[in-house]
Amino acid sequence: MFESFSIIFTIAALFNYINYKWLKLPTTIGLMILSLILIIPITLSEKVFPEFYKFFCDIIVNADFKTLLLNGILSFLLFAGALHVNLGALAKEKKSIFLFATLGVLISTFLVGGLVFFAAQLIGLELPFLHALLFGALISPTDPIAVMAILKEANISKSLGIKIEGESLFNDGIGVVVFSGILLIATAMGEHNITELSTEIGTLFLEEAVGGLVYGLAIGFLGLKFIQSLKDNPQLAVMITLAVVMGGTAGAFMLHISAPLAMVVAGLLIGNKININEDKNSVQKAINSFWEILDDVFNGILFVLIGLAIHLLEFNTSYILLGILAIVIVLLARFISVLLPYSLLKHEEKKPIKTIAILTWGGLRGGISIALALSLSEELSLDIILHITYIIVLFSIIVQGLSIGRVVKKLYS
């Protein structure tokens, strides 16, 4: 795995350089496009240089995308993202963020699941309803990694930015819990009655979501106290933040609670209590610089891996057609799942539909959706779900990511 990780890291560094010097696109989009371009000669080499092609395939397989993201770099990226989010600004938008991250995810899950189920039936693909719901659950949360990376390049208002950032930071944890609940139903059908399943799902929510939030506060508070006592040792302060993420994630897995939610809470607490955005003393500067670099490194690896892994899939006409239909369905569901919660809130905008439109188009999907799709078994329609998930993620990052800045400018010009 180390060899695969090293080669992917080297490719990411090279692509980052090319994008910085010549393409000048948002980093995640540039890396994705360059990775897709690299796929062309690699695919063509299959018959001419089969050993090279096999070597490259082994690199992608050995990287183990699902484990690498869900059990590794996701915690680092979420902590790094939350570290720089202003808690005061987040608190002002807490109602909208809470509704988008909970009610919005649930609405989108069932809308996407139901409509994709019927779309699959129309084109002759067998996709059971519960499996379609699993797809709805994994594709509904907006990806904080993709969203926050691209938002750095988009000129949007602070209020709107904090809505999108806050929602994306929290709804992936909620989405994983919803996905896990539906997965439990899909795999336990016939073995448990409704009462037992309801109890298990309720327990799962308490353990994963509530447990993750409480655990995040605990490790964040503990890490904060250590950091605050190290005003003259910035290197050790950085090590403490690493220990919070690495040790905290390992502890979350052992306790069976949500590591993503825990890392978001810990990052928010530490970042705001030490006022990391002020960047005045040596501890603030060291932590800020370290996590910005680590964020760029892991983002590069993740999006290169997303782009390179596509050549392992075998697309057919039915999958592509369902994927295109799913793009429309996901955008429609996103619009409705933002509109309904937003209508429950008081807002000052004269034309709130503009905000809803930007929240809809800015709700990007990324690596988390692919990783969750990869966690499914063949019996749970892995093949269909993985293919249409990939189509949506590529559309989301490249098309929506490239155009979000222009959409904002057009709506607010």
pLDDT tens digits for 121-137? 999 999 999 999 999 99
Q: What share of the chain is helix, strand, coil (3-state, %, to 5)?
A: 85, 0, 15
pLDDT at 26 over 60: yes
Residue 157 sits at φ, ψ, to 5 deg, of: -65, 155
Secondary structure of residue 189 in the 3-state scheme = strand
Q: Looking at 10-14, 28-32, 61-65, 246-250, which range is the least confident one?
A: 61-65
Query: Predicted confidence band at 36 (pLDDT cuts at 50, 70, 90)?
Result: very high
**What token pair was written down for 385?**
């779900």
Average pLDDT, the chain: 88
Please choose, from the candidates 358, 395, 309, 329, the residue with its C-alpha nearest in 3D space to the C-alpha of residue 136: 329
Residue 236, amino acid: L
pLDDT in tens, 62-78: 878 888 888 888 899 89
Range 40-57 average pLDDT: 89
Residue whose entry in the numeric block shows the structure tokens 């018959």? 47
What whole-number distance in Å separates Cα of residue 248 and Cα of residue 75?
9
What whole-number distance in Å separates Cα of residue 88 and Cα of residue 59?
44
pLDDT at 228 over 70: yes
Q: Looking at 130-144, 188-202, 311-325, which range is the least confident one?
A: 188-202
What whole-number distance in Å separates Cα of residue 371 and Cα of residue 360?
22
pLDDT in tens, 151-177: 666 666 777 778 888 888 888 788 888
pLDDT in tens, 80-119: 989 988 888 888 888 888 899 999 999 999 999 999 999 9
CATH class of the domain whose range is 74-411: mainly alpha
Tell me what pLDDT residue 198 has.
Answer: 67
Residue whose entry in the numeric block shows the structure tokens 């955005």? 277
Range 230-259 average pLDDT: 93
Query: Predicted confidence band at 413 (pLDDT cuts at 50, 70, 90)?
Result: low
Domain boundaries, the chain: 74-411
What whole-number distance in Å separates Cα of residue 284 and Cα of residue 181?
40
pLDDT in tens, 361-385: 988 998 889 989 988 999 999 999 9
Query: Predicted confidence band at 191 (pLDDT cuts at 50, 70, 90)?
Result: low
Q: Are 75 and 260 in contact, with CB atoms under 8 Å apart?
A: yes
pLDDT at 185 over 80: yes
| Residue 48: Cβ within 10 Å count | 8
Tell me what pLDDT residue 67 has.
Answer: 86
Residue 371 sits at φ, ψ, to 5 deg, of: -65, -40
Tell me what pLDDT residue 328 has.
Answer: 97
pLDDT in tens, 348-361: 666 788 888 988 99
Percent of the chain with pLDDT over 90: 51
Range 282-299 average pLDDT: 92
pLDDT at 311 over 70: yes
What burial class does residue 45 get, using C-beta atoms within 10 Å of its C-beta: 0-12 exposed, 13-18 middle, 19+ buried? middle
Tell me what pLDDT residue 334 has.
Answer: 96
Query: Predicted confidence band at 197 (pLDDT cuts at 50, 70, 90)?
Result: low
Instruction: Provide the terminal-to-terminal Cα distance of the chain, rounded to the nearest Å.
Output: 49
DSSP for 253-278, please give it: HHHT--HHHHHHHHHHHHHHHTTGGG
Tell me what pLDDT residue 91 has.
Answer: 87
What whole-number distance in Å separates Cα of residue 73 and Cα of residue 372?
14
Query: Predicted confidence band at 256 (pLDDT cuts at 50, 70, 90)?
Result: confident
Percent of the chain with pLDDT over 70: 94
Tell me what pLDDT residue 391 has.
Answer: 96
Tell me what pLDDT residue 402 has.
Answer: 87
